[in-house]
Chains A and B, each alone.
Chain A
Amino acid sequence: MTGARYLARFLNEKGVRQVFDYPGNSLLSIYPALREAGIAHRTARSESGAIFAASGVSRSGAGIGVCFATSGPGATNLVTGLADAMLDSVPLIAFTGQVSTSVIGQDAFQEADLLGITLPITKHNFLVKDGAALPTVLEEAWRIAQSGRPGPVLVDLPQNVLSSEIPEGAASPRLPHKRDPGNLAFDKQKDAFFDLLSRAKRPLLLVGGGCKSASASVRNAVSKLNLPAVCTLMGKGVLSDNDRACYGLVGIHGNGTANELLRSCDTLLAVGCRFSDRTIPNVDLLRGKCVLHVDTDAAELNKRVLCALGAAASAEEFFTELSAAPLAPFAPSWAPEKENSPAGAPDFCLKRALNDLANAFPDAIFVTDVGTHQVLAANAIRSDSPYDFLSSGGLGAMGFGLGAAIGAALSRPDRRVVLITGEGGLQMNLGELASIREFSLQNLSIVLCDNHALGLVEELNRLQKHPAICQNRQDPDFDKLFSAFSIVCARAKDAKTFSCALSDLARGKAQALHLILSPDESAYPQNAPEERL
């Protein structure tokens, strides 16, 4: 059996039913193999669209996303998607074609050192120089992507390895030398941990993306202990935004109440988060508080914030122990009532439009791009599951949205997927619009938040008192553009037209909603400057 066939069979056995790709010479042998294995290949319009689609699969909880790119430029186009997945701990596997082993290092046509290029932006990467190693590498890649703290894995496949014969029974996965973090270390610490927590007068739980797979246990512990909680962008949906204990997003782009809780708590229990500078812009904010940090990745403990006690344990382990701990529930919440309405917002603005959108699509998976709309959507959309709000958090990669939404829509055909994007982000991977018709994605709706400027960047620019950067930007006619891709678009420029257009979108009469917005709307959801961190 050839390497290509072995790979396709391996993916099939792991339950992969579709992969995202862009073809090229070094990968040609993979296509017949995928066909034989019954795996659909979804060809994107660029490799970055393909990897964001794979990310959309993983982020929406539909298994491990897989993408393919050819050697050289195809593979280098994956860089942003890999870095994005790395920072947000998204498990995915990228297979790249490579020139044959006999010419590696000779600057051959479409040769690039992918191992070197992607080394700091993958959880791990492999260059398979010998077909006999392929079975082991594939098993390892699959394990590494999802074990412990998940992340992207790249497997670089020279052309001759894909065509070489793989010996039967060649798979011999190496046993990991290191155990994945277990509760051995935490067992020793848990009494001290729970003792510190029990002394809290104003405890606050900070939920990060590391809690995604432990949502039920988090909810159980929060309810049992009467513990108020805030979340990071990646932790959104772990607790339901409809839960009264969940105060939503904290940090630079968080809401005023969540930020106030962070400021006034005396004990911060942070689980599965890395204290990013978007969440905690200034670590002095936590001075004097008892910070208890739990993360499956020991390298996150004391990286940015020195904690009173840190434990390397998975969120599931921790919250299971927490629920079983002999802790009395905390006093009726010291936290104030939640506020949800966009108070004081004009009749037609992005903030209000997103609230209405959330109401119109109560059960959708929302995907955002990056910018003002992303920040406001993260506050306006009420998520009930950690796999229902997909956003590029750590890297903030514009162009993420459309690809990720396509991946989510294809892998979750049972769900409505709503992409909220900006005119900047949409144009970064515009070609992917063609996939919507090609893949008959009736379950994907697009909301284009068009403020005729790169809104968030211009806002930051204004704050620094620099002259505008994008004043002469000439965007295309988006309505005609959607039409060219056979997408019916409704347009809204005021409250009245918005109401009709949103109704058209919700009823499926339109697949895209083009919002003409003011370039001046702020990306800061807090109502007053003093609510900011």
Chain B
Amino acid sequence: MTHTIFAVVDNKPGVVSRVSGLFTRRGYNIESLVTGVTDDPMIYKLTVVLNGTEEKKDLLVAQLQRIQEVISVSVAEHTPCALSEMMLLAVPAHTEEDRAQARAFAESLGLRLCLEADAVLVFELCDTPEALDTARSAMRARFPGAYSVRSGAIGLALDP
């Protein structure tokens, strides 16, 4: 099962090493870890997407809370929040016809063309992780040569 965990941390040197070191040392299967600044430059927010059981998730929360720079930890499934992720997806397209087909199909799925090169079109999509999964599957089914990269999810927990 996939869990999304938010950690609010002090912006101190090495804090990301401490968090990522925890995953390595304790053997967690992490899908993504995204770090970003908040409105307060002294505070960072981390979004972690983890594959594992409920117990594994609870344990990770407790282990994150042990890190000195970690101020608070919350779990997406227990917290009202907005979740978003970005994907870049490239479709090899050598002819005008290929290009037109790719563009039409991608746009029907909500992807936006962001780069047009000689032999490839690159689309982007910002949406929930699940929507990205759906769009990627559809694109790869239609264009087997398509390849993509994802940013990892970021979340904004809503204040009560």
Which residues of chain A have a CB within 8 Å of any CB of chain B?
115-116, 119-120, 124, 127, 129, 140, 144, 177-178, 297-299, 301-303, 306
**Given A119-B17, A119-B21, A299-B63, A124 and B58 contact (CB-CB distance below 8 Å):** no
Min CB distance, B150 to chain A, in Å? 28
Cβ-defined contact, B55 with A306, below 8 A: yes
Q: Mark B29-63, 1 if CB is under 8 A from A, else 0.
A: 00000000000000000000000000100110011
With a CB–CB cut-off of 8 A, which chain A residues contact B70? 177-178
B14 contacts the other chain (Cβ, under 8 Å)? yes
Which residues of chain B (60-102) have a CB below 8 Å from chain A? Answer: 62-63, 65-66, 68, 70-72
Q: How far is the CB of B81 from chain A (nearest CB, A)?
A: 21
A303 to B60, CA, bound (A): 10
Instruction: From A119, A140, A299, give the contact of B59 (CB < 8 A).
Output: A299
A178 and B66 CA atoms in complex are apart in Å by 9
Pick the contact of B65 from A119, A120, A298, A306 — CB < 8 Å?
A: A298
Most chain B Cβ neighbours within 10 Å, of A115, A129, A299, A303: A299
Whole-angstrom CA separation of A178 from B9 in the bound complex: 11
A124 to B67, CA, bound (A): 8
Indicate which residue in B18, B58, B63, B71 contacts A119 across the interface (CB closer than 8 Å): B18
Contact of A120 among B21, B58, B71 (CB under 8 A): B21
User: Using Cβ atoms and an 8 Å threshold, which residues of chain A touch B59?
Assistant: 299, 302-303
Q: Which residue of B lies closest to A299 (CB)?
A: B62
Which 8 pairs across A and B sit closest by C-beta, in order of nearness?
A299-B62, A177-B71, A298-B62, A299-B63, A124-B68, A120-B25, A299-B66, A119-B21
CA distance A119 to B10 in the complex (A): 17
Q: Do A116 and B71 touch across chains, with their CB atoms under 8 A apart?
A: no
* Alpha-carbon distance between A210 and B24 when the two chains are bound, in angstroms: 26
CA distance A403 to B72 in the complex (A): 39
- Using CB atoms and an 8 Å cutoff, list the residues of chain B in contact with chain A: 10, 13-14, 17-18, 21, 25, 55, 58-59, 62-63, 65-66, 68, 70-72
Interchain CA distance A299-B63 in the complex, whole Å? 5
A178 touches B71 (CB 8 A): yes
Chain A positions within 8 Å of B66 at CB level: 297, 299
Complex alpha-carbon distance, A298 and B64, angstroms: 11
Q: What residue in chain A is nearest B9 (Cβ atoms)?
A: A177
Chain B minimum-CB-distance residue to A121: B25
- Given A119-B21, A120-B21, A306-B55, verify A299-B65 contact (CB < 8 Å): yes
Most buried by B among A115, A116, A140, A177: A177
Q: How far is the CA of A119 from the CA of B25 in the complex (A)?
A: 11
Are B63 and A116 touching (Cβ within 8 A)? Answer: no
| Interchain CA distance A120-B25 in the complex, whole Å | 8
Q: Smallest Cβ distance from A189 to chain B, in angstroms?
A: 15
- Please name all residues of chain B whose beta carbon is closer than 8 Å to the beta carbon of A115 when the two chains form the complex: 14
Query: Contacts A119-B18, A178-B71: A127 and B13 contacting too (C-beta < 8 A)?
Result: yes
Chain A residue numbers with a CB within 8 Å of B25 are 120
Between-chain CB contacts (< 8 Å), 5 pairs? A116-B17, A177-B71, A177-B72, A178-B71, A302-B58
**A298 nearest in chain B by CB position:** B62
Check A178–B17 contact: CB distance below 8 A.
Answer: no
In the complex, what distance in Å separates the CA atom of A124 from the CA atom of B14? 11
- Closest partner residue, chain B, to A144 (CB atom): B68
What's the least CB distance linking A104 to chain B, in Å? 11
- Taking the closest CB of chain B, its distance from the CB of A122, in whole angstroms, is 10
A303–B55 alpha-carbon span in the complex (Å): 8
Separation of A178 and B18 alpha carbons in the complex (Å): 17
* A319-B18 Cα distance, complex, nearest whole Å: 34
Which residues on the B side are within 8 Å of A178 (C-beta)? 65, 70-71
Check B14 against A119 for contact (C-beta < 8 Å): yes
- Kindly state the separation between the CA atoms of A281 and B71 in the bound complex, as whole angstroms: 35
Given contacts A177-B72, A178-B71, 16 further A-B contacts (CB under 8 A): A116-B17, A119-B17, A120-B25, A124-B68, A127-B13, A144-B68, A177-B71, A178-B65, A178-B70, A298-B62, A299-B59, A299-B65, A301-B62, A302-B55, A302-B58, A306-B55
Residues in B with CB closer than 8 Å to A299 are 59, 62-63, 65-66
Residues of chain A lying within 8 A (CB to CB) of residue B21:
119-120
- Point out the residues of chain A lying under 8 angstroms from B65, CB to CB: 178, 298-299
Q: How far is the CB of A143 from chain B (nearest CB, A)?
A: 10
> What chain B residues lie within 8 Å of A124 (beta carbons)?
68
Q: Which residue of B lies closest to A124 (CB)?
A: B68
Q: In angstroms, how far is the closest chain B Cβ from the Cβ of A91?
A: 15
> Distance in Å from the Cβ of A394 to the closest Cβ of chain B?
14
Chain A neighbourhood of B18, CB < 8 A: 119
Scoring B10, B18, B68 by chain A CB atoms within 10 A of each residue's CB, the highest score goes to: B68
Q: How far is the CB of B13 from chain A (nearest CB, A)?
A: 7
Give the nearest-CB partner of B68 in chain A.
Answer: A124
Question: What is the distance, in angstroms, from B12's C-beta to the closest C-beta of chain A?
Answer: 9
Give CA–CA (A178, B68) in the complex, Å.
Answer: 9
A298 to B13, CA, bound (A): 26
CB neighbours (8 Å) of A303 from chain B are 59
CB distance from A152 to the nearest CB of B (A): 13
The closest CB in chain A to the CB of B25 belongs to A120
Give CA–CA (A528, B66) in the complex, Å: 42
> For the complex, what is the distance from the CA of A138 to the CA of B14, rounded to whole Å?
18
* Across-interface contacts of B68 in A (CB, < 8 A): 124, 140, 144
Taken together as a complex, chains A and B put the C-alpha atoms of A338 and B159 apart, in Å, by 58
**When chains A and B are docked, how far (Å) is the Cα of A297 from the Cα of B58?**
13
What B residues does A144 contact at CB under 8 A? Answer: 68
A299 and B26 CA atoms in complex are apart in Å by: 12
Residues of B within 8 A of A116 (CB): 17
